Amino acid sequence: MPQIIFLPHDELCPEGKVIEAESGVTVCDAAWANGIEIEHACEKSCACTTCHVVVREGFDSMEESDELEDDMLDKAWGLEPESRLSCQAVVGEEDLVVEIPKYTINQVSERH
């Protein structure tokens, strides 16, 4: 079973966290199942960027993003080449190292 290594994030997982995730689940669902409450203002419907993550290792093991996800990512704070929406990024067969950006753009709460 692949592991997801979450790098430390001041609010969501200050110490970082290593979790086991079944192949086929999204990074967001795996995080939530293990107490890492990644924001997802659109209820995981690929309609916002609040669940933006950067996949530091294992990026190429996941299925490619589709056009809708790419369009949403263009609006994300701190976009990088390995950025994904965690609600759309499906765990493959390899371990992942994931960074949750410090900020999100949430037009509902404007919480930073």
| Residue-level pLDDT at 106 | 65
Within-domain flag for 104? no
Within-domain flag for 94? yes
pLDDT digits (tens, 9 = 90+) for 2-29: 999 999 999 999 999 999 999 999 999 9
Per the structure, the count of domains in the chain is 1
Report the DSSP beta bridge partners of residue 96.
4
Name the residue range of residue 38's domain: 3-99
Within-domain flag for 83? yes
8-state DSSP, 105: -
Within-domain flag for 53? yes
- Helical (H) or strand (E) element with 85: strand 83-85
Rg (CA), the chain: 13
Question: At 26, which CATH number?
Answer: 3.10.20.30
Within-domain flag for 107? no
46 — pLDDT class (breaks 50, 70, 90): very high
| Residue-level pLDDT at 104 | 78
pLDDT digits (tens, 9 = 90+) for 97-107: 999 998 877 64
